Amino acid sequence: MDIELSNDDLSFEAEVREFLAGNAYKDGEDPNKWRMDWFEKAREKGGWDVPKWPAKFGGPGWTPNQHYIWQKETARSSTPWDMPFGLSMLGPVLMAHGSEEQQDRFLPDIRARKVNWCQGYSEPGAGSDLASLKTKAVLSEDGSHYVVNGTKIWTTMAHIADWIFCLTRTSDAGIKQEGITFLLFPMKQEGIEVKPIITLGGSHSVNTVFFTDIKVPVANRVGAEGKGWTYAKGLLEHERTGIAGISNSIVALEGLKDKASSVKRGNGSLMDVSSFKAKVAALEIDLMAVEYTELRSLATASAGTAPGPESSILKLKGTDIQQRIQKLTMEAGGQFSAAWGGTNAGPDFARAGMGGYMGSRVYTIYGGASEVQKDIVTKKVLGIKSSKK
């Protein structure tokens, strides 16, 4: 694959760098005001606030190389936090399968970052085997609304979400992938209880959510009843591509090298130790290979094709690389990494390294466990079918 940047690409790269440098956060600014101003200025650039949206819906219509440049430059720069659930996950589903009324109703507020969304997929008995979900949505006798009862788990940011896009079971007939319906409804209403789950890394980002007799208008159903599994798969492909975090890993690897270079070993640094240096080199080679896969995925997307099984490759290898970076960061901190949660000792990064390592254990689970991704790659890429009947 040719990734040489043309003169137009180089000009775009310079423009992106100028924008990011000119709009970086400055000490003393109101973070919330800076965040909203940043997105407004990005919008004025011609859809830079929604870089992955198609031009039809206000996106920039970039080439694969432009997407590649944007991802690399924003990973290195001061950019505002952004929730992916509405922008990168629900948005594409609504564009592809939502009614015109739903697009007009939900997409503007998603783009304006006025509404926070969360994802109601996993359940206590349906994680990697998502099609086994049991949250029920029963259509009322007059056909005007559904009544939803059930439980979702590992629901990221449910405690601050305004709305949820939720997979529900509307029928038990046929195979388990059938009878699943995609619904949208507000989180701030009676009958919804959110309980926090504190992760191994010590943070509160995920939750258990309980639904009791929640009424959802039929107008809030995306697409046809019973076709939610089809829409969910498309959404997961977008999610997995984002979770891979290739550009962020490139920056994180550079940071790991700097940290290891600051740790003294004999007359040199940890980066001079052959065993450690070999681990970093192997990681860098794998990251380069995944980066090329991402470029192929971007080329496919630019041609108007939805992400396919390559998103599973990206998720599988990208999250593995993220974990390896965190593990080597902890290794670089040595015995001082054990001070996590206590007084910092040794290198400045040591204590945070342990927290990052513990938090990274979930990377190969959420968004579809690695075992699930391997199964998808086996079937969809290698063409190997299961021998089980």
180-186 and 163-169 strand pairing: antiparallel
Q: Is 118 exposed, middle or buried (0-12, 13-18, 19+ CB in 10 A)?
A: buried
Give the DSSP H or E segment for 195.
strand 192-198
For tokens 């564009």, the residue is 95
Catalytic residue among 73, 123, 225, 239: 239
Pairing of strands 180-186, 117-120: unpaired
Measured in degrees and rounded to the nearest 5, phi and psi for residue 135 equal: -60, 120
Contacts of 114 (CB under 8 A, 6+ apart): none
Q: In Å, how far are 70, 111, 241 from 148, measured between CA atoms?
A: 41, 28, 30
Answer for the pair 155, 120: CB distance below 8 angstroms, yes or no.
Answer: yes
Contact 84, 156 (CB under 8 A): no
Per-residue exposure over 147-158, b if at least 16 CB sit within 10 Å of its own CB, e if not: bbbbbbbbbbbb
Quick one: tokens of 299?
């080329």
Secondary structure class of 76 (helix, strand, coil)? coil
Residue 190 is among the residues annotated as catalytic for this protein: no
Q: Of 86, 194, 210, 89, give the one whose Cα is nearest residue 152.
A: 210
| Rounded Cα–Cα distance for residues 285 and 273 (Å) | 18
- Residues with a catalytic annotation lie at 239
